[in-house]
Structure 1
């Protein structure tokens, strides 16, 4: 079979794509920008989703993620690999978002959370309106939570992380994390009582 000289030849994937995470971390710590770019590419969707859920709007989430990646590159030599790279990045993004929230009182609305929590109800318009109203009430209730409680709740309920990992990400003890999540759940249950 002959290939036409004008036909584009697909480029092979960069060699970094085939490497495991641990190798990429070692290479990145040694200054390999392409290895760090591959690490960032692998984790950017989850990190962006976390930032969006914490700060509430896409513009701030993008800024927080970008600044977090810059911070991670600068601090990569201090990464001890006691935890996974993703856990370390979750911590950087969470801290960046909490700093942003503290600088920006009152709490940021979580406008796009509704899209991520549930798809609109299929069927009757009444159902869709009820779901929309319930999600709006949840956004309001989330806004009222203290930032640390909201971060722990998002990491647990929306990201599905365990208590030990959340403790590592937030820098709080596991008991404190459990307490924050419990208080967040209690507050949200009280706020959402009318929607049961």
Structure 2
């Protein structure tokens, strides 16, 4: 039996909890890009982000029977991805000092505005990397993924007020770091 593209996530979750692997595969198709982006923007490394995303999806499959409310699947899955990425950061710190190497702009020649855009992107990436992981994750989920404060709070296991504070502090630090670009 095929899965209709309009099938709600909640229905797919319930089917997957009953052992329907096709339903879980559809959930993966729907959410894998966002799971990867959360990991990538937290880790700033494609290889580690791919590993974190894959591990998050595997964990979600294993723990899916424990999910009580199918309506919370998206936040639950993104929380798993967020935690997995943070675990990788912690592992980096435990094994070696973090290399604070600044992102290098693309050496390819091009129009001046492309060069400036590339440099600005590198400055933003560097500024984001300098944020504490909780602030960086909240800012990414809000500004780049467009999630609401309530959903972010559920993902990062904090209150909406704490999320607002983290985002405010992240914005303040980013504005300061990007002041030369104004």
Shorter-chain TM-score tier: 0.7 to 0.9
Relative to structure 1, is the Cα distance of residues 92 and 107 closer, same or farther in structure 2, using a 3 angstrom cutoff? Answer: farther
- Tell me if 1:77 matches 2:65: yes
| 159, 164, 171: which one aligns with 1:173 | 159
1:16-27 equivalence runs, <5 A: 16-18=3-5, 19-27=7-15
Alignment size in residue pairs: 174
Shift of 1:107: 6.9
Coordinate RMSD, CA, aligned: 2.4
Distance (whole Å) between structure 1 residues aligned to residue 57 and residue 102 of structure 2 = 23
Please state how far the C-alpha of 1:110 moved relative to its aligned partner. 9.0
Q: 1:145 to 1:192 in 2, by over 3 A?
A: same
Written as runs of structure 1 = structure 2, the 5 A alignment for 1:116-135 is 125-135=111-121
Q: Distance in 2 between matches of 1:107 and 1:170?
A: 25
Does the 8 A contact of 2:13 with 2:23 survive in 1?
A: yes
Q: Which moved more, 1:62-71 or 1:73-82?
A: 73-82
Tell me the SS of whatever aligns to 2:3: helix
Q: Which one of the candidate residues 2, 11, 15 is aligned to 2:2?
A: 15
Look up the SS of the partner of 1:39 in the other structure: helix
Distance in 2 between residues matched to 1:177 and 1:77, nearest whole Å: 28
Question: Structure 1 residues 48 and 17 mapped into 2: Cα distance closer, same or farther (>3 Å)?
Answer: farther
TM-score with structure 1 setting the length? 0.80
Gaps in structure 1 of 5+ consecutive residues:
1-13, 116-123
Gaps of 5+ in 2: none
Larger Rg: 1
* Cα distance per residue 1:142-173 (max 9 Å; x no partner): 11100111000100110011111100000011
- Range 97-106 or range 80-89, more displaced: 80-89
Residue 52 (structure 2) aligns with: 64
